[in-house]
Amino acid sequence: GQQVMQIPQYQHVQEGEDFTTYCNSSTTLSNIQWYKQRPGGHPVFLIQLVKSGEVKKQKRLTFQFGEAKKNSSLHITATQTTDVGTYFCAGPSSGGSNYKLTFGKGTLLTVNP
Amino acid sequence: NAGVTQTPKFQVLKTGQSMTLQCAQDMNHEYMSWYRQDPGMGLRLIHYSVGAGITDQGEVPNGYNVSRSTTEDFPLRLLSAAPSQTSVYFCASSVRGSEQFFGPGTRLTVL
């Protein structure tokens, strides 16, 4: 079946440093979604990427979708303590309808103030 | 809108007991899903539904049942709880092609 792999599993940074997490799918994706989960909380949607090579920015966060639509990355510039949490990527398991998602195992980001 | 609600927030069961985790959404979303989250394992799909009366299995369905009699509700039943079912359970809903909205979760411990 489809697999979605994320690296690294953990990342600890000093406040102000940059952070990147990478996501790789075993199959071509129609789209990819990113979620953030704060400690003790629930996953919250960040963004969806659809087009090959797409780049989207949300303030200090930059999301990329690979040309082959099998990989993606999330880059945070100048991390803040509010960025702490686990970042998940997710791809549709069938048909691109997004009702059946396969999630990566996530990257836990901790930030030292 | 309350969004996606889940009850209870916490539950402790003994091995062999049964229970139902409740999930409701007030956004008129077609799609609803149940996930379990274990340390280092990410979110794994248990069961999902694409509309009232229609359910299907996800990645880890064994030991769980679901039904969807209304658009709003999607309960998850544990038939005979086992320690391996100790986890955090999330319910989510969405419309076609869009993001999933997650509930606050139920933290279940099976002794």
A47/chain B closest Cα distance in angstroms: 8
What pLDDT, in 10s, does the model give residues A60-69? 999 999 999 9
Over residues B21-32, mean pLDDT: 96
CB B81 within 8 A of CB B15: yes
Query: Burial code of B80-93, b = ≥16 C-beta within 10 A, e = fewer?
Result: ebeeebbbbbbbbb
Q: Which residues, at least 6 apart from B1, have a Cβ–Cβ distance to it below 8 Å? A: B26, B27
B67/chain A closest Cα distance in angstroms: 16
Residues of chain A in contact with residue B33, where contact means CB-CB under 8 angstroms, are 99-101
Q: Given CB atoms, is A9 within the 8 Å cutoff of chain B?
A: yes
Residues forming a β-bridge with A91: A102
Neighbour tally for A40: CB within 10 Å: 10
CB A67 within 8 A of CB A51: no
Burial grade of A101 (CB within 10 A; 0-12, 13-18, 19 or more): buried
**Can you say how many angstroms the Cα of residue B92 is from the centroid of all Cα atoms in its chain?**
8
B3 has a pLDDT exceeding 80: yes
Which DSSP symbol is given to B99? P
Q: Given CB atoms, is A43 within the 8 Å cutoff of chain B?
A: yes
Q: Which of A42, A44, A104 sits opposite B105 (nearest CB)?
A: A42
Q: Which of A45, A88, A98 sits opposite B97 (nearest CB)?
A: A98
Burial grade of B108 (CB within 10 A; 0-12, 13-18, 19 or more): buried
Label residue B37 by pLDDT band (50, 70, 90): very high
Structure tokens that stand for B60 in this block: 């880890």
pLDDT of residue B24: 98
pLDDT of residue A1: 74
Q: What is the residue-averaged pLDDT of chain B? A: 95
- Cα separation, B19 vs A94, in Å, equals 30
Nearest-CA neighbor of A7 among A107, A109, A108, A87? Answer: A107
B88 has a pLDDT exceeding 70: yes
pLDDT of residue B111: 97
User: Are β-strands A107-112 and A85-92 bridged in parallel, bridged antiparallel, or unpaired?
Assistant: antiparallel
Structure tokens that stand for B47 in this block: 């069961």
Q: What angle do CA A94, A99, A105 make, to 5 degrees?
A: 80
Q: Given CB atoms, is A40 within the 8 Å cutoff of chain B?
A: no
Which DSSP symbol is given to A100? S
Which DSSP symbol is given to A106? -
Q: Which of A9, A45, A103 sits opposite B99 (nearest CB)?
A: A45
Structure tokens that stand for B1 in this block: 């809108």
- Cα separation, B107 vs A54, in Å, equals 37
What pLDDT, in 10s, does the model give residues A1-31? 789 999 999 999 999 999 999 999 999 999 9
